[in-house]
């Protein structure tokens, strides 16, 4: 029995066609701007997101860290949602390396308003940390893949810019938002100081992310990338995978969204699952158990034994993520396994 891995959309593996594109890539020394495929990728992503320039990074985590290093000084404060990746999942890199504190905004689905943003921005004073950067996630990962509506996004952008803050968009899943709503990456990223997209999530590449900004920003980002050990050599092998993904794996994100909607609908046939629903549904699903005498760790452990891998979050919720490594039929199988398991726990309790 093969594993149906809904743990994360990082579980995708490169397809044969992607591997062929990688093998055929023209390469050079990236550190000296001599890798033609990496240059083509950076130009393409900068154009699609509407920025002057871009830099290829090994990971999204490094995009967030480097943007923080460029946008802030030690002792500054960064405003971000309390559940955001930069807050919860990056080893406190902002603090450890950039010397920056995070001022968390507490939200239901990772989306905050211009007023909440203004309330988080500190008035300049001798004693307060300097608020110098705001970071948002499009889509929101641990808040259930919610899509920031354009007006909320622009409200936060403008409130931040008015107060002199730099604005950063963690677009790990920006293309998921675009496919869900039909808006372009450029529309979402318009007016932001920096934004990036991840290729190692639903786009199915082995690794890599592209960080965008104006020429000055990218110049400084390059210095930090080099310092942090992120400069590469024949990175065209990876950039070729990313270019392949832009051509072949963006539109198909709609399949992942449909699979996620199907999962929510069919698991709803038993009364044992409650969903944190966001609208529109993208590829991240948050849910919890109800009315069963079992905790999520035990439930996810048993699901894994039967071939379905979910992610148990620390707060008792579970996360399922759809991606190109999981077909519609496999989603149907996963639903059947999870519903059966829940029914068995319920029967044992009775
Ligand atoms: C995965 C993720 C990151 C980090 O990206 P990596 O490429 O895994 O380092 C940052 N932000 C969000 C919202 C993510 O989902």
Mean pLDDT per block of 10 residues along the chain (350 residues) reads 92 96 98 97 98 98 98 98 96 98 96 98 96 97 93 98 98 98 98 98 96 98 98 98 98 98 93 87 94 94 97 92 96 97 90
Q: How far is the CA of 172 from the centre of ligand 1 (A)?
A: 6
pLDDT of res. 131: 98
CA angle 139, 186, 38 (to 5 degrees): 90
pLDDT of res. 1: 64
Closest CA to 230 of 95, 60, 74, 14: 60
**End-to-end alpha carbon distance in the chain:** 31
Task: List the structure tokens of 235.
Answer: 């990175």
Task: List the structure tokens of 67.
Answer: 């943007």
Please return the burial class of 346, using the count of CB atoms within 10 Å of its CB with bins 0-12, 13-18 and 19+.
middle
What are the structural domains of the chain?
14-248 (3.40.640.10), 252-349 (3.90.1150.10)
pLDDT of res. 65: 98
**From atom 8 of ligand 1, which residue's Cα is the shortest distance away?**
60
pLDDT of res. 226: 98
pLDDT of res. 279: 78
141 lines ligand 1 (CB under 6 A): yes
90 lines ligand 1 (CB under 6 A): no
Q: How far is the CA of 343 from the centre of ligand 1 (A)?
A: 35
Alpha-carbon span 194 to 78, nearest angstrom? 14
137 lines ligand 1 (CB under 6 A): yes
Which residues, 6 or more positions from 137, have their beta carbon under 8 angstroms from its beta carbon?
81, 84, 85, 110, 143, 169, 170, 171, 172, 173
Closest CA to 334 of 249, 253, 273, 251: 273
pLDDT of res. 271: 94
pLDDT of res. 314: 85
pLDDT of res. 284: 96
Q: How far is the CA of 80 from the centre of ligand 1 (A)?
A: 14
Question: Which residue among 11, 85, 228 has the greatest number of ligand 1 atoms within 8 angstroms of its CB, and so is best to mutate?
Answer: 85
Task: List the structure tokens of 49.
Answer: 């997101």
Q: Which ligand 1 atom is at minimum distance from the Cα of 209?
A: 7
Strand partners, 309: 5
Task: List the structure tokens of 224.
Answer: 């930090």
Q: How far is the CA of 209 from the centre of ligand 1 (A)?
A: 9
């Amino acid at each position: 029995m093969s594993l149906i891995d809904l743990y994360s959309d990082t579980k995708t593996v490169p397809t044969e066609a992607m591997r062929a594109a990688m093998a055929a890539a023209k390469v050079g020394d990236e550190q000296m701007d001599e890798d033609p495929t990496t240059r083509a990728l950076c130009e393409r992503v900068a154009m699609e997101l509407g920025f002057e320039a871009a830099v290829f990074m090994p990971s999204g985590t490094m995009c967030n860290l480097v943007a923080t290093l460029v946008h802030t000084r030690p002792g500054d404060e960064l405003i971000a949602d309390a559940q955001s990746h930069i807050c919860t999942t990056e080893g406190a890199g902002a603090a450890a390396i950039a010397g920056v504190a995070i001022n968390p905004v507490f939200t239901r689905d990772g989306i905050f308003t211009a007023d909440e943003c203004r309330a988080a921005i500190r008035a300049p004073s001798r004693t307060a940390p300097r608020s110098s950067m705001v970071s948002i996630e499009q889509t929101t990962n641990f808040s259930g893949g919610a899509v920031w509506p354009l007006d909320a996004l622009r409200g936060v952008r403008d409130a931040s810019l008015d107060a002199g803050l730099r604005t950063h968009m963690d677009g790990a899943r920006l293309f998921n938002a675009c496919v869900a709503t039909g808006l372009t990456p450029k529309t979402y990223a318009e007016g932001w100081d920096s934004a990036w997209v991840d290729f190692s999530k639903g786009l199915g590449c082995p690794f890599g992310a592209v960080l965008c900004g104006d020429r000055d920003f990218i110049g400084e980002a390059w210095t930090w990338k080099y310092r942090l050990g992120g400069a590469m050599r024949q990175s065209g092998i990876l950039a070729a995978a990313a270019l392949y993904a832009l051509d072949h794996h963006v539109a198909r994100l709609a399949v992942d969204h449909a699979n996620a909607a199907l999962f929510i609908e069919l698991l709803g046939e038993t009364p044992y699952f409650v969903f944190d629903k966001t609208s529109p549904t993208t590829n991240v699903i948050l849910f919890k158990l109800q009315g069963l005498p079992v905790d999520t760790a035990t439930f996810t452990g048993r699901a894994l034994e039967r071939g379905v891998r979910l992610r148990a979050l620390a707060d008792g919720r579970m996360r399922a993520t759809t991606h190109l490594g999981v077909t519609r039929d496999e989603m149907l199988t996963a639903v059947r396994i999870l519903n059966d398991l829940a029914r068995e726990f319920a029967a044992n309790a009775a």
